[in-house]
Amino acid sequence: MIEIKDLHKSYKVGKNALHVLKGINFNIEEGELVAIMGSSGSGKSTLLNIIGMLDVADKGSYTLDGVPIKDLDETKAAKYRNKFLGFIFQSFNLINYKTALENVALPLYYQKVPRKERNEKAMKYLKDVGIDDWATHLPSELSGGQKQRVAIARAMAAESKVLLADEPTGALDSTTSYEVMQLIQEINDSGKTILVVTHENDIANMCKRIVLLKDGVIIEDKKINQVWASDHV
C-alpha cells in the first residue's frame, strides 16, 4: 500500500540545515496497523506529514497504492489527500461552527457528493463510531473522546485507502484513549490500513507493528502481538 525508499528531509534553521529524515526505507501492506514511535525530534511527525502529503520530501521516492507521489502542486495534493488519505489529529481539528454531522460530511462535499447522499453517508459513519445521537451537536458540546470519534468518522467518510493518526490519544485520558484505540482496532479489523504516530508504549502495543525512529533513521521495525484495547476498557 505504501512504499518508501531512501527518504530525506531537511529544514533550514537560520543558516544551518537541520537534517530531520536521513534515508527512511519501509513498506506498509494493506490492512496493517502500524505504530510509528520515537522521542520528540526523531522525525516521526515529519514522516507522517510526508506520507500525508502535507509536506514534501527532498529526496527519495514515495508510492501510495501504486501511484508515485511526486511533483505535487497544492491542487494535486489536495485531490490525492481527498482520495487516498483520512487524517486524525491530536487536537481533533473539527470545524467549530459545524455540527458533528456536517464535519463528517465535509470531505464528501469536496468529493462533490450530492448533499442528501452526503448526509446519509455521514450519519452511517457517525453510527459506526457510536455517536449518531450527537449528530446535531457542535464540537464545543462534545467531550474529547466524542470529538475524536467525530474526527475518526470524518476520516472514514472520505472512504480513503489509509488513515493517518497523529497522536490520536494525546489529548485524552487513558480510559478514553483505550476506547478510541478500540475503535481504531475495529476499523483496522474491517480491512483499513492505519498509521498511528505515538510516543506512548501502551498505545503502540495495541498496533500490529512498531516502527521505532531515532535521529531520522529507523532503528527498529518489528511485528508484535496486538494487545486488545477492549481488554482494558
Partner 1 sequence: MFNRDSWQEIFDTISKNKLRTFLSGFTVALGIFIFVILFGFGNGLKNSFKEFFVDDATNIFRLFPGRTNMPHNGFKSGRYIEFDNDDLAAIQKNFAFQIQYITPRITRNYTVKYKNKSNNYGLRAVAPGHQEAEKTILMKGRFINHQDVKNKTKYVVIGRLVEDDLFEGEDALGKYVNIGKRSFKVVGVFQDDGGDNEERFVYTAYTTNQLIEKNTDKVGQIIVAFKPIIGYAGAMEFEEELMAFMKKRHDINPKDESAIYLRNVADDLEQNQQFGSLLQIVVTFVGIGTLIAGIIGISNIMVYVVKERTKELGIRKAIGATPRSVIAMILQESIFITTAAGYIGLFGGIFLLSSLDNTLDDYFIKNPYIDMGTAIFATILLIIFGGIAGYVPARRAARIKPIVALRDE
107 binds partner 1 (CB under 8 A): yes
Q: CA torsion, points 74, 41, 90, 199, in degrees to nearest 10?
A: 140
Quote the least distance from Cβ 93 to partner 1, whole Å: 5
Indicate whether 74 belongs to the interface with partner 1 (CB under 8 A).
yes
Q: Does 79 bind partner 1 (CB under 8 A)?
A: yes
| Interface stretch with partner 1, choices 17-25, 47-55, 191-199, 213-221 (CB under 8 A) | 47-55
Residue number, 123 or 227, with CB nearest to partner 1: 123
In this chain, which of 20, 94, 101, 181 binds partner 1, going by CB under 8 A?
Answer: 94
Q: Binding of partner 1 at residue 49 (CB under 8 A)?
A: yes
Binding residue for partner 1 (CB under 8 A) from 102, 135, 148, 198? 102
Of residues 156-195, which lie at the interface with partner 1 (CB under 8 A)?
Answer: 158
| 10 beta partners | 19
Name which position in 25, 30, 110, 173 contacts partner 1 (CB under 8 A): 110
Binding to partner 1 by residue 130, rule CB under 8 A? Answer: no
User: What's the CA gap between 35 and 79, in Å, rounded?
Assistant: 26
Region binding partner 1 by CB under 8 A among candidate stretches 6-14, 71-79, 122-130, 205-213? 71-79
Span 208-227, contacts to partner 1 by CB under 8 A: none
Which CB, 158 or 180, lies closer to partner 1?
A: 158
Question: Angle 123-97-114 (CA atoms, 0-180°, nearest 5)?
Answer: 40
The yes or no reply on residue 154 touching partner 1 (CB under 8 A) is yes
Nearest-angstrom CA–CA distance, 168 and 129? 15
Output 126 or 210, the one with its CB closest to partner 1. 126
Residues near partner 1 (CB under 8 A): 49, 52, 54-55, 74-75, 78-79, 81-83, 86-87, 89-91, 93-98, 102, 106-107, 109-112, 114-115, 154, 158
